[in-house]
Amino acid sequence: MSFSNLGLSEKVLAAVAATGYTNPTPIQEQAIPHVLARKDVLGIAQTGTGKTAAFVLPMLTILEKGRARARMPRTLILEPTRELAAQVKENFDRYGAGQKLNVALLIGGVSFGDQDAKLMRGVDVLIATPGRLLDHTERGGLLLTGVELLVIDEADRMLDMGFIPDIERICKLVPFTRQTLFFTATMPPEIRRITEAFLHNPQKVEVSKPATTAVTVTQSQVPAGREAHEKRELLRRLLREAKDLKNAIIFCNRKREVAIVHKSLQKHGFSVGALHGDMDQPARMAALDQFRKGELPLLVASDVAARGLDIPEVSHVFNFDVPHHPDDYVHRIGRTGRAGRTGTAISIVTPLDQKSMAAIEKLIGQNIPRAEGEFEVHSESAEPTERSREQRGRERSRGGRGKSRRGGHEQRGDARHASDARPAAEARPAREPKPAREPKPSREAKPSREAKPAREARHASEPRHGSRQQANTSHVPSIGRPEPRRPQREADSEPGDHSHLPAFLLRPVRSPAGA
């Protein structure tokens, strides 16, 4: 079947032909006729199946008739992240090039004034994240009473990010008679409840089993040590030895870990970018654009980049951290092996990740092959007794106990063991009971200052408790005595030689001015 059999308008068909597409994907083939028939649609499909075009193309056909009014958008599309919202707008710009439609983007990181100006001119398509949309409605600059079609995209991701209460509020602000298109990759109970509450006799379109991985993706898991520096060293080795690596996304569980891995790879000569939620919007879009254009072959990202981003021809996905939720694994590796292409997904697995890996294998219904043991990295440069940087950070976050352990506790410990090593004959006599308090003597009755030398002479014969001399001369071993701290050396503290790296993974070296 071709696009011409789906009922799309001539303008839309011309735009699709200009992009080079001839045949629709399964979800497009099934969903587009229902959308054009103005029916509610429940679409269940994994990422990379073309579901964005499944609602963009019929919406463009529907919007050819009618006119937008100020502050009252005709259609509304909700996306969980700024990047997904910007990507959907790019689809409207590409396929709606021959139409005079006003498309507005309401996302964080952009001033309210610019967005208000676009809303006042009238909007045919409003693409928004839930939080910024509700901000505009509460400020009185946006009315949703004219929405004819509502699209809720990546609904299961909305659930993970805590947006379901916002979605319920928005659904009550739009007209009851609107058409609703609901897309999700999985169907947890909370998502099922939402579909039953806000969809009216929906046409269910399911093109793949929920939580399945593409057969074109080769999956594997590689064992690693517990320490973070061992994982970073293993990641660098995997990047150097990967076959047919054109570009790769490296996923971490935390934004802080993204920054650490990004800095480590940069220090070792890799050309790499970063993408996480704490970056401002221009920086996020710039990193994504450089990766899409091939200017950066590596991108370290948190799960903000795992859902729905259309990044073509990603050859490899590395899970630096095994995701806590099995569904996130499916979406992460869905960045590669798209549109029938082959891809590779490699997960770095520590002993603490075994439970999470078992949950992932249970969800996808298959065992993930384990790589051979030669990939395990046991760095000789790291002392086994040293605490990792992350452990020290956790200690500092608990009120500086790590610092006190290195400082006061160790010193007190040395003093305690030094005093224990003192001969019994030199031990300080037991303290005598304190006599009853006597009336305070008058100034004239104070003891003479001549008694002070006598006291000093008495104490001079006893070694002082915790003194530096006593601690240094005591060599008696004691159980539990803290070892002297060595300067920490991480395996990736030295950049080393980059001559073995592929040329496209290297960071460009700029000559100083005037050289």
Summarize pLDDT for 281-309 with one digit per residue, the tens: 788 888 888 998 889 999 999 887 656 67
- pLDDT, position 500: 63
| The dihedral sign for the CA sequence 330, 90, 304, 112 | negative
Which of 45-54, 166-175, 412-421, 506-515 bottoms out in mean pLDDT, i.e. has the lowest? 412-421
pLDDT band at 35 (very low <50, low <70, confident <90, very high): very high
What is the pLDDT averaged over residues 455-464? Answer: 48
- Please enumerate in sequence order all residues whose Cβ is within 8 A of that of 59, keeping only pairs 6 or more positions apart, or say none: 35, 75, 125, 149, 151
Residue 387 has pLDDT above 90, yes or no: no
pTM higher than the cut 0.75: no
What is the pLDDT averaged over residues 252-274? Answer: 94
- pLDDT, position 411: 41
Summarize pLDDT for 395-414 with one digit per residue, the tens: 555 554 444 444 444 344 44
Summarize pLDDT for 438-455 with one digit per residue, the tens: 555 445 444 444 444 444
Closest by CA position to 93, among listed 13, 15, 181? 15
Closest by CA position to 185, among listed 21, 411, 364? 364
- 3-206 folds as Rossmann fold (3.40.50)
What is the pLDDT averaged over residues 49-68? Answer: 92
What is the pLDDT averaged over residues 460-489? Answer: 46
Q: How far is C-alpha 264 from the chain's CA centre?
A: 17
The HSE-up count of residue 475 (CA atoms within 13 Å, CB side) is: 1
Average confidence score pLDDT of the chain:
79
Question: In 3-state terms, what secondary structure has residue 343?
Answer: strand
Residue 47 has pLDDT above 80, yes or no: no
CATH number of the structural domain 217-381: 3.40.50.300
- Provide, rounded to the nearest whole percent, the portion of the chain with pLDDT above 70: 70
Residue range(s) in the chain whose domain bears CATH number 3.40.50.300: 3-206, 217-381
